[in-house]
Amino acid sequence: GAVVSQHPSWVICKSGTSVKIECRSLDFQATTMFWYRQFPKQSLMLMATSNEGSKATYEQGVEKDKFLINHASLTLSTLTVTSAHPEDSSFYICSARGFSGQANTGELFFGEGSRLTVL
C-alpha cells in the first residue's frame, strides 16, 4: 500500500533556531499534502494544505511566515518551523491523498509524525 515517510521522528532544538521536517510519498505522487499539529491530549488540527508547485494554503491562525511550507516535487513537502519557541513544541504530522492513475482515491496516508521539543 501507499507509504508516507516523515523525518525526523523527533527533534530537540534551542529556542530561536529553525527546524525542517520532511514528508515524502514513497510509492506514489502526491500533488497535495497536509500538515497537522497536535498538542498533548488534544485533537489533530490542520495547519496548512501543501500544493505542489504553488503556495501553501494556511488555516486561520497559523502564521505562514513562521511555518514555511515548500512542496517542490510530487513526492516531497517540507515544513520549516522558523525561530522556534517552546510554545511550538508539539507533534507535527503530514498526510497525503492517495492516487490511482489520475484519480484521487480519497484515501489518506499519514506520515509517522515528528515530535518537536523546543528548549
Three-class SS state of 61:
coil
Closer to other proteins by CB, 48 or 84: give it.
48
In b/e form, how buried is each residue of 68-90, taking b as 16+ CB within 10 angstroms?
A: bbebeebbbbbbebeebeeebbb
Half-sphere exposure of residue 66: CA atoms within 13 angstroms, side-chain side: 11
**CB-nearer residue toward other proteins: 72 or 108:** 108
From the list 88, 119, 117, the residue with the least C-alpha distance to 14 is 119
Does position 93 bind other proteins by CB under 8 A?
yes
28 binds other proteins (CB under 8 A): no
Shortest distance (Å) from residue 32 CB to other proteins: 11
> How many residues lie near other proteins (CB under 8 A)?
20
Determine the distance from the C-alpha atom of residue 58 to the mean position of all C-alpha atoms in its chain, rounded to a whole number: 12
Q: Is 106 in the site for other proteins (CB under 8 A)?
A: yes
Report the interface residues with other proteins, using CB under 8 A: 34, 36, 38, 43-46, 49, 59, 91, 93, 95, 106-110, 112-113, 115
